[in-house]
Structure 1
């Protein structure tokens, strides 16, 4: 039981539905249904029937979403394995060929030999200056800016005129 709670706490920080989260969710919804049934028996209020239907719908929806997520992950894994097999590579062969150098496209680059420069292979995924310059910022006009955001030449002219008048 203690390991379940430890797994539950650690699975909070794990992306995706983990078995301990699914078990805890189902147990919580089952306990809620029992409480709603007991309250219905004690009070004979129709509100607890409605709440029970809402609880059941949410419970079903969460379990449906988890099964869809798992089936999508399974399909993605199968598609990846089939594409590896079509290339004539097994999953083990692909691991041996990967050099671990990431490229801009998100894949891996296989180093071909000593002709590759060390600096060139390390800076593949970095931004180039032309990428940075391509994104230009729009200047804020004086009508769009509030009174303290920017100063203009006309404001400096007013200051210099006030200084000349004061002399």
Structure 2
């Protein structure tokens, strides 16, 4: 499972690096889940901008893997039960900044907006750092391995 997640993460990182240079090798994106000041700021940002869809406990919306009548996927959980931790920091940053629709292209639609005009890069990193700080130790370690694999692909 870890190997599959790492390979998938590396592929996604390559896509981000190719299509979104700002989130690729030119920009060092590193989450800071052990920095209490960053995490505290991140919680405030998450509560104000993300919790209404992704849940105050990072639980996401019901049936998040099934498209609704509108054709859109509900907001996934950001806790350990979701797939957020399967993606390297740079991809999480790019998805948050530009939105999934901008990342996927080809007419893909998503209810999640990009936050490029709402949050600074530092605020995006803080909110993602807060999310990571809530994961169990073993999930955080797996995510660190995914980041290492993505970095080796550069």
TM-score (norm 2): 0.22
* Structure number having the greater helix percentage: 1
Scaled by the length of structure 1, the TM-score of the pair is 0.20
Structure with the bigger RCO (C-alpha within 8 Å, sep 6+) is 2
Q: Which is greater in Rg?
A: 1
